[in-house]
Amino acid sequence: MTAIAEQKRVCVLGSTGSVGVSTLSVILQQSDRFQVFALTAHSNIDLLMEQCRVFHPKYLVVTNPDLYQALSVRVKVDCLGAVVMSGSESLNEIVSHEDVDIIVAGIVGAAGLDSIYHALCRGKRVLVANKEPLVMAGDFLVDVAKKNHATILPIDSEHNAIFQCLSQCVPPYLHDQGISKILLTASGGPFLNTPIDELKNVSVSQAIKHPKWEMGRKISIDSATMMNKGLEVIEAHYLFAAPVDTIEVVVHPQSIVHSMVQYVDGSTLAQLAYPDMRVPIGHALNYPHRVALNVKPLCLEDMSSLQFQAPDFKRFPCLLLAYESLTKGRAAVVGLNAINEVVVAGFLDNKIRFSDISILIESVMTDFNASNPNTIEEVFDVNAAAREFATEHLSKFKAAEVYGGV
Ligand code: MG
């Protein structure tokens, strides 16, 4: 069999985001193993065109319908031959295509859920980078994967590390393997040591400047509040069928140990690497094989110390809110994710202060009531209701600030 015949065809959802760019960098290095079948982006058609020239996908999707015409013209002028599609429905169509082997799901926020669901229904291997779909509907997605012989592989660095530390792994669901604890590491973000009373004055540009990882704006804010870690606790709970009280967060500012698994017999396994998304992506793309990747190998002699400490819930109340939501049930978890998206967007738009993020999320969570969803459709309903509710609260919160009220 030739190398070409073994090539897997990959669809990259969100190819112009940080996960998409890292994925394409891996594929470029391993072009004998992978070929790009489709690329999708929301609005950055300049970068999408550049990627199209290098990877020659069969399909290009721009989810913003206003850009369909412009992209179609540019593809035609450059004689690239890719079929251009538009709108979020096109994503479902592309991931379900019979010629697609692997889907890399890197779409920010809740928007990625529908396409992941469709891919799993068609028995595909789905590499999940965006945590919101697993947070919103992790148990449903795991069930859908089981029923359709599909595979969910995590490329969120922590979950990929846990996956690598599990000895008898049968993805996507893991049963009792003698695990006593999952230790999720967290860098602590840019404000790990900032005095708490100074947090109200931090700007958007300070908050999006993560010390170790370069990421999108929303996830950078989530890292600064540690909501990101809270969402990862939820993600781990569903993905690895791990009880909440077995998942612990450990602050590790160097971001070298990406997570650990502790076993009942006294062993703790860890996965170490420099912070580079290409490592978890390369692992999941090639799983169960290990294939050479041109990334900097770890040099332990260069590291004077690796530090670990317990998280300070007073500094990071969002982390506590995430744990609490898991004890309340599915509606609270879906609500938390949706409310967080709205509130973080409010901070990015300079409508509220950084320290207001957790205050506002907590107050909206307290008042938000919904029945626990039992289907993916109901998840979308709860998500929409929570977003609407949070948007209303956000506008009132802003008014209170402006007029000096409450
Ligand atoms: Mg992560």
Using the CB atoms, write b or e for 118-132: b if 16+ within 10 Å. bbbbbebbbbbbbbb
* Contact criterion met (CB below 8 Å) for 353 and 200: yes
* Averaged pLDDT, 362-377: 94
Residue 338, C-beta contacts closer than 8 angstroms, at least 6 positions apart: 110, 382, 383, 384, 386, 387, 390
pLDDT number for residue 404: 44
Q: Does residue 31 or residue 175 have the better pLDDT?
A: 31
What integer pLDDT is reported at residue 403 of this predicted model?
44
What confidence category does residue 175 fall into, taking pLDDT thresholds of 50, 70 and 90? Answer: low
For the chain, give the percent of residues with pLDDT over 90.
Answer: 78
Please report where in the chains the tokens 């000895």 appear, as a residue: 167
**Between 319 and 177, where is the model more confident?**
319
Residues 6 or more apart whose CB falls under 8 angstroms from that of 124 comprise 95, 100, 101, 102, 103, 150, 151
Return the DSSP state at 171: T
pLDDT at 211 over 80: no
How high does pLDDT run on average in the chain? 91
Where does the pLDDT of residue 375 fall: very low under 50, low under 70, confident under 90, or very high at 90 and above? very high
Is 90 exceeded by the pLDDT of residue 78? Answer: no
More confident position, 77 or 292: 292
Question: Ligand 1 centroid vs 326 CA: distance in angstroms?
Answer: 19
Distance between CA atoms of residues 219 and 288, nearest Å: 29
Expressed in angstroms and rounded, the spacing between residue 163 Cα and the centre of ligand 1 is: 13
Q: What is the distance in A from the centroid of ligand 1 to the CA of 259?
A: 10
**Which parts of 299-375 fold into alpha helices (H)?**
317-328, 330-348, 356-367
Amino acid at the residue 132: E
In order of their start, the domains of the chain are 3-154 (3.40.50.720), 328-406 (1.10.1740.10)
Looking at residue 168, its pLDDT comes to 61
SS3 87: coil
| Residue 387 CA, ligand 1 centroid: distance in Å | 24
**How far, in Å, CA of 12 to CA of 35, rounded?**
11
**pLDDT for 174:** 55
pLDDT at 170 over 60: no
Q: Which of 21-35, 167-181, 245-259 has the lowest mean pLDDT?
A: 167-181
Which residues touch 385 (CB under 8 Å, ≥6 apart)?
370
User: For residue 185, how far is its CA from the centre of ligand 1 (angstroms)?
Assistant: 9
The rounded Å distance from CA 135 to ligand 1 centre is: 13
Confidence of residue 399 (pLDDT cuts 50, 70, 90): low
The Cα 92–Cα 101 span in angstroms is 14
Measured CA to CA, the distance from residue 52 to residue 60 in angstroms comes to 8
Ligand 1 ion: residues within 5 Å (CB)? 156-158
How much distance in Å is there from the Cα of 281 to the middle of ligand 1? 12
Q: What is the arithmetic mean of pLDDT over 234-251? A: 93
Distance from the alpha carbon of residue 151 to the mean position of ligand 1, in angstroms: 20
pLDDT of 209 reads: 82
pLDDT band at 176 (very low <50, low <70, confident <90, very high): low
Per-residue pLDDT band for 50 (boundaries 50, 70, 90) equals: very high
Residue appearing with tokens 């979308």: 380
Spell out the residues 6+ positions from residue 23 whose beta carbon is closer than 8 angstroms to its own. 10, 12, 15, 104, 106, 281, 285
* The predicted structure's pLDDT at residue 219: 85
| Mean pLDDT score, 335-346 | 96
Mean pLDDT along residues 175-199: 88
Least confident of 203-212, 229-238, 346-355: 203-212
Q: Calculate the alpha carbon distances from 241 to 174, 309, 373 in Å.
A: 6, 25, 19
What is the DSSP track for 187-212? ---TTSSS-GGGGGG--HHHHT--SS
Give dist(CA 220, CA 260) in Å, integer: 23
Q: Is the pLDDT of residue 208 over 80?
A: yes
Report whether pLDDT(150) > 60. Answer: yes
| pLDDT tens per residue across span 90-130 | 999 999 999 999 999 998 766 689 999 999 999 999 999 98
* Cα gap 369→356, rounded to integer Å: 22
Instruction: Please report the pLDDT score of residue 110 as a whole number.
Output: 64
C-beta of residue 153 within 8 angstroms of C-beta of residue 350: no
**Centre of ligand 1 from the C-alpha of residue 285, in Å:** 17
Share of the chain above pLDDT 70, in %: 92
